[in-house]
A and B are shown apart, each in its own frame.
Chain A
Amino acid sequence: MIGVGGSDWKHYVRKKSHVVRRRIRKGIPDCLRGLVWQLISGSRDLLLMNPGVYEQLVIYETSASELDIIRDISRTFPSHVFYQQRHGPGQRSLYNVLKAYSVYDRDVGYVQGMGFLAGLLLLYMSEEDAFWLLVALLKGAIHAPMEGLYQPGLPLVQEYLRRFEQLVKEYLPNLGEHFSQEMINPSMYASQWFITVYSYSFPFPLALRIWDVFLYEGVKVVFQIGLALLRFCHDDLIKLPFEKLLHALKNFPDEAMNPDTLLPLAFSIKVSKRLEELKGEHEKKNERSLLQLSMPISSSNLPIQKPSAVE
């Protein structure tokens, strides 16, 4: 199915995409994970098309974010054995990848949270591979670009949180109502879900399974997992007042974190169509407000608008 170094992959994925999807949803075997991630994200092509670029970025360029990156290196997966050793190979690779990216895309630079993405990738591939996968994700090689999660103003975080809140209201109306009564909004518990694609605080076995699907199917699964968690814990959450509720939303029970329960539940929640519509609605609204912004200037010159005012 994959072939040597992924040579048969493209052919297979075109012919049998539903088979690939089904298999990926069951979890990519750990020994193949690194390679498959690079194939399904499109990063392998970027790597092959840009020989020597990574080395150039790491060795010859300087980044304005270097100190920020260094400050966070020991605060990224601090209890993982690969990143524990101060200035050890894990921490060095992490630094190099983040620095290279901050040079490659100076508009994004380095933003807290990116370290968790890079840190997760580096457990399965080389620095250079991890760098290009990061590029593939942020620049949108296959799916919608993620760079808006990290650009100034974090526009995509705000947009995703808005859409998630709407989905909660529609798919879990009682819980959605309870959230609004308790004044809970998704920025209080779900920012990390989107910014780090569940790599920040979720157990690795679950995070990896989410990433398998995320890289193949796109950001949709981040919404699905979020909704699945809320649905799984629905009956408990709906009874809790503000503080306990917030605590529960940051500390889901172990049963909820089991990938073999949570993922099937997540896939059963169909969100693609609604997500697209919500995106459209927002864009329309934005256009309208842009229109309104320009309105007062032109309307004052338009006698048709207020005929009585024209003499």
Chain B
Amino acid sequence: MAHRVDHEYDYLFKIVLIGDSGVGKSNILSRFTRNEFSLDSKSTIGVEFATKTLQIEAKTVKAQIWDTAGQERYRAITSAYYRGAVGALLVYDITKKQTFDNVQRWLRELRDHADSNIVIMMAGNKSDLTHLRAVSENDGQEFAEKEGLSFLETSALESHNVEKAFQTVLTEIYHIINKKALAAQEAARNSGPPGQGTTIHVVDSSDAGSSKSSCCSS
């Protein structure tokens, strides 16, 4: 959800971390929020949660990130967390082709359960494992373009592009929110409160001649 609050931060954006089990979602989250990485981390059961506050175009934005268990059966629990999310980081593992092939299913999952305007960043994680690479960066890029997603290859281990991935998603969300706010203001100005605008107009036109003439004559 995108809330505006007076203190601490200007915006609060809810983001979900999704993707197959074992692609590195929890390490991406710990790298981003605590600058930590653990080679021997436990598999996530259910959902985990962390936040980070950062600056986006002179505004303070707080990202509220929900990290979800990746195994398909857990979607019974985790899909409830898509509701209200304005952004998603959809992660696959560049060394496991299957996790990339499954991105399509995750997108369907988002379409079914998340807001249709959700901003999605696809992240090909474990880019440090070049000798085990099974998905080329080009394939990732092409797929992302076809589906209209942002895309980056990341390495939670080497701290590569993790911050940037979140920053990109959050900035995009910020722009959308801003544009919407502007559009709303614009719309409000143009249409105005109905009735009022027209009465003013009527009064104006009827009085225009006399007031103008008096103005000119004086």
Q: Tell me the A residues contacting B by CB distance below 8 Å.
A: 68, 71-72, 74-79, 84, 111-113, 115-116, 150, 152-154, 157-158, 187-188, 191-192, 195-196, 200-201, 243, 246, 250
Contacts and interface: CB of A to CB of B under 8 A. Distances in A.
Return the 3 tightest CB-CB contacts between A and B, nearest first.
Answer: A191-B46, A78-B40, A75-B43
Given A75-B42, A112-B69, A200-B42, A158 B77 contact: yes
B45 A158 contact: no
Residue with the greatest number of chain B CB neighbours at <10 A, chosen from A74, A112, A157? A112
A116 B42 CA distance: 10
A200 B45 CA distance: 8
A217 B158 CA distance: 48
B76 interface: yes
B41 interface: yes
Contacts of A201: 42
B117 interface: no
A154 B77 contact: yes
A84 B40 CA distance: 9
B200 to A, nearest CB: 44
A110 B44 CA distance: 15
B89 to A, nearest CB: 19
B21 A188 contact: no
A195 B46 contact: yes
B43 A72 contact: yes
B49 A246 contact: yes
Contacts, number: 69
B47 A154 contact: no
B76 A158 contact: yes
Contacts of B140: none
Contact of A76 (B42, B47, B51, B76): B42
B21 A68 contact: yes
A71 B95 CA distance: 13
A68 B48 CA distance: 21
5 contacts: A112-B44, A154-B74, A154-B77, A187-B47, A250-B48
A193 B157 CA distance: 30
Contacts of A243: 49, 51, 64
B198 interface: no
B21 A72 contact: yes
A113 B49 contact: no
Nearest to A72: B43
Contacts of B69: 112
B212 interface: no
A272 B47 CA distance: 28
Residue with the greatest number of chain A CB neighbours at <10 A, chosen from B42, B64, B69, B77? B42
